[in-house]
């Protein structure tokens, strides 16, 4: 096959000078962090453009966000399994192509329906990125450094989420809503080039084919659940619950790491809950409230960077911090909450990945990101629902109970033994 054409259909090795350098694993982690940051940044930055979209198009734009979230939640897990067979690096790089191209198309859209359609395409690109980000970290670093590397990746996600609203507001005010999408282009192009030269090829390929019935069941369950969380009829739960049970029954990997996936969902729920609760409880202005909320991702980044593998201790610390926040929203309590979740979430995710064969790393990464997507959606819907009916103290109390439950989930505190190092040609 022609060498130039092979670049588009097969994974290319890293240059030998890169592959043999001692810092090569962290170059790969840094490249993955670009995709992790971009996915979370885009999910949060668009919310600041919704009022401008309503003014430009004269229609309610909530489906601009909802279509993205529904598509991402429905396809991130099956794309992860498909990537195990096709090659995670290849699918990841094509994810940047799809995501960046769709971002340009979104900025050029002159009709709300066209914009929503390209948001679906953009979400497919984001699913290709997120389904493989964790698996590429697993492939790049030794097992004994997996928890630290996943902590760095989780910090990049938290940074994207924290910067999205602030940057989005500035872009919309200064340049218009189109730049909320165009800002993705330079990051996407840089990440595509970096990924080609710095990411390792897939070592082990998965052998389990994508189950079409499981994909339909997962899409049905997530779509119905997120529609309920968005205010649709609660009777859709009668569709979401059996579809979700059917998906778990048909997907053996889910049953194998169900405790870790449950813990990941709860962890992300508690991480995102304060981001929607604090603006309702703070008497500060928007800028001061935004500055206050940065304490949460700062604490998360600190906890994720620490070398300690104590997920249950992190869950207990987060429980105490939520209890304090129920009485007073204080930056020290937010830092403590972020610190506890930073100790818990990366270690939990590493335990999930460590419980699966390396050939199924893409599938495991897709499941972890599915838990993150569901946890994010629940982290917005559950606290606001409780706050509307019983007030902020009860809402923070519910978050404390949820994170306490995670301390009792059957996850492993120890990671498996380190695997063999990568060969230079990989």
Q: What is the pLDDT of residue 148?
A: 80
Q: Please write the tens of the pLDDT for every residue from 229-248.
A: 767 788 888 999 999 899 88
CATH class of 9-201: mainly alpha
Domain locations in the chain?
9-201, 212-250, 252-413
* Three-class DSSP category at 183: coil
Mean pLDDT, the chain, integer? 82
Q: What was the pLDDT predicted at 412?
A: 42
Which are the contacts of 165, defined by CB distance < 8 A and separation ≥ 6?
Answer: 44, 45, 47, 48, 290
Q: Is the pLDDT of residue 414 over 50?
A: no
Residue 84 scores a pLDDT above 60: yes
324 CB contacts (<8 Å, ≥6 apart)? 330, 333, 336
Cβ-based neighbour number of residue 386 at 10 Å: 20
| Furthest CA-CA distance within the chain | 66
Cβ count within 10 A of residue 5: 9
- At 272-289, the pLDDT tens digits run 888 778 877 777 765 677
Check for a shared fold between 9-201 and 252-413: yes
Query: CATH topology for 252-413?
Result: Growth Hormone; Chain: A; (1.20.1250)
Output b/e per residue, 303-316; b: 16+ Cβ within 10 A: bbebeebbbbbbbb
> Is 27 a residue whose pLDDT tops 60?
yes
Predicted confidence band at 395 (pLDDT cuts at 50, 70, 90)?
very high
Output the pLDDT for position 287. Answer: 60
Q: How far apart are CA 256 and CA 213, in angstroms?
A: 19
pLDDT at 210 over 80: no
Band of residue 165 on the pLDDT scale cut at 50, 70, 90: low
pLDDT in tens, 306-346: 877 788 899 999 999 999 999 988 999 999 999 999 999 98
- pLDDT computed for residue 290 by the predictor: 66
**Model confidence at 164: pLDDT above 80:** no
Q: Is 348 helix (H, G, I), strand (E, B) or coil?
A: helix
Judge whether residue 21 has pLDDT over 60: yes
Regarding pTM above 0.85, the answer is no
Give the pLDDT band (50/70/90) at residue 203: low
What is residue 9's predicted lDDT score, i.e. its pLDDT?
Answer: 65
pLDDT of 106 higher than 90: yes
Give the percent of the chain with pLDDT over 90.
Answer: 22
DSSP letter assigned to residue 231: T
What pLDDT is recorded for position 407? 81
Residue with more model confidence, 146 or 399: 399
Per-residue confidence (pLDDT) for residue 86, from 0 to 100: 78
Looking at residue 424, what is its pLDDT?
42
């Amino acid at each position: 096959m022609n060498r130039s054409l092979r670049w588009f259909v097969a994974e290319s090795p890293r240059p030998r000078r890169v592959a043999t350098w001692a810092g090569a694993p962290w170059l790969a982690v840094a490249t993955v962090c670009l995709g992790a940051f971009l996915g979370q940044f885009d999910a949060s930055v668009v919310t600041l453009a919704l009022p401008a979209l309503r003014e430009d198009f004269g229609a309610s734009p909530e489906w601009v966000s909802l279509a993205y979230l529904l598509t991402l939640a429905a396809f991130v897990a099956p794309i992860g399994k498909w990537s195990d067979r096709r090659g995670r690096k290849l699918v990841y790089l094509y994810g940047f192509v799809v995501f960046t191209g769709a971002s340009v198309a979104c900025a050029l859209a002159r009709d709300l329906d066209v914009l929503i359609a390209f948001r679906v395409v953009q979400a497919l690109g984001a699913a290709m990125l997120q389904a493989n980000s964790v698996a590429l970290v697993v492939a790049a670093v030794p097992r004994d450094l997996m928890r630290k590397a996943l902590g760095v990746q989780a910090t990049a996600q938290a940074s994207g989420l924290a910067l999205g609203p602030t940057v989005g507001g500035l872009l919309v005010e200064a340049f218009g809503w189109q730049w909320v999408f165009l800002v993705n282009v330079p990051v996407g192009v840089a990440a595509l080039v970096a990924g080609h030269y710095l990411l390792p090829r897939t070592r082990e390929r998965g052998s389990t084919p994508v189950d079409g019935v499981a994909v339909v069941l997962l899409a049905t369950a997530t779509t119905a659940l997120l529609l309920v969380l968005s205010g649709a009829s609660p009777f859709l739960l009668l569709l979401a619950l059996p579809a979700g049970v059917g998906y778990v029954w048909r997907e053996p990997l889910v049953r194998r790491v169900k405790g870790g996936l449950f813990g990941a969902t709860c962890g992300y729920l508690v991480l995102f809950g304060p981001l929607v609760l604090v603006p309702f409880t703070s008497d500060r202005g928007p800028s001061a409230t935004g500055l206050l909320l940065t304490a949460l991702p700062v604490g998360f980044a600190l906890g994720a960077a620490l070398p300690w593998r104590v997920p249950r201790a992190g869950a207990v610390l987060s429980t105490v911090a939520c209890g304090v926040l129920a009485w007073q929203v204080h930056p020290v309590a937010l830092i403590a909450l972020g610190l506890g979740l930073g100790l818990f979430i990366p270690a939990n995710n590493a335990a999930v990945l460590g419980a699966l064969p390396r050939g199924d790393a893409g599938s495991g990464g897709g499941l972890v990101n599915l838990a993150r997507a569901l946890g994010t959606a629940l982290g917005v819907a559950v606290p606001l629902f409780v706050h509307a009916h019983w007030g902020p103290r009860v809402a923070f109390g519910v978050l404390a109970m949820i994170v306490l439950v995670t301390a009792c989930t059957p996850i492993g505190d120890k990671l498996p033994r380190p695997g063999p190092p990568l060969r230079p040609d990989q």
